[in-house]
Amino acid sequence: MTWALLLLLLLADCGGSAPDAGAPPTDVMLRRQMHAGQLAFELERNEEAAAQYRTALNRAQARDDADAIGDTGYNLAVAELRANAPDKALADARATRIELERRGAKPFPDGDAVARATFLRGLIADDRGDEAGLATAADALTRAKTPPFDADSAELSARLALLRSDPSRARQQAARAAELRQTTLDYRGLARALAIEGAAAERTGNKIAAADLFLRAGRSAAAQGDKGSARAWLRRATYLAAGQPVGRAAADLLRGLNQDDYRLRPCSRRKRTLRRPQPDRRPRLGPHR
């Protein structure tokens, strides 16, 4: 038996097959980077996922591959949103959309990628105060059947209702989004939905309910290490329910965050140096002898 025949038998036994000589070569590095980003995202290591997707995007740009640029660009934006970097997420989503439109590329054959892109477009529209754009994105996501995208749909609907001065519907949709975020273990999205619900309650004039929702949003954000959002929401709760139990609870939690930062702040005291005592050169006030 020749070595070549033995190798073919081993491959067949392992379920492998000889590579197709006519198939185009695969960019293994890009595939590995995308897989690493997906794995980190599934493990809720959102900052790591964003870093991997950023590296993959650079690789896709080196290939000048429009499909790969679109896929990695929107995955990067989703990871950044989960990592509580909404400004970066919106900027990267916008840049990817402009790139694809300029090149006349079809955005995504993958339904999940289309849904993610639609959600990000809705956030961009809300950030701009673009009611029509937000409505288009919210309407497109109403057909979502899986819980993560159903939660995205509910969040965009809540944002749209707030923009249209309909706080009752906004609160209803935000509560639904929060429940779905909890089910899918998307706790950053959960905190965001609670804050939207709090804003809606505030619009209806129910300050205590609004403060409670902002407290819960801030507590969730603080537990995840997102101190910036936590402080903003806890301050709102403290303001809305000053002197009330919920307001005091928010103030206590806010005070704890500030104390933690103070304890972690590096000491900036200057090092003291010992100096030799200098002779007293002050003029004598007594009579000279």
220 Rama class: left (phi>0) / alpha (psi -120 to 50) / beta: alpha
**Domains in the chain: ranges and CATH:** 30-107 (1.25.40.10)
Residues 6+ apart with CB under 8 A from 122: 133, 134, 137, 138, 141, 152, 156, 159
Residues 6+ apart with CB under 8 A from 13: none
| Residue 46 CA neighbour count, 13 Å, CB half | 18
**What stretches in the chain show pLDDT beneath 50?**
1-19, 264, 267-275, 277, 279-289
- Taking the model in full, what pTM does it have? 0.67
Considering only CA atoms, which of 204, 212, 190, 124 is closest in space to residue 161?
204
**Other CB atoms within 10 A of residue 110 CB:** 14
Q: Tens digits of per-residue pLDDT, 48-72?
A: 999 999 999 999 999 999 989 988 9
pLDDT value at residue 262: 54
Q: Residue 267 gets which letter from DSSP?
A: P
Which amino acid, 160?
L
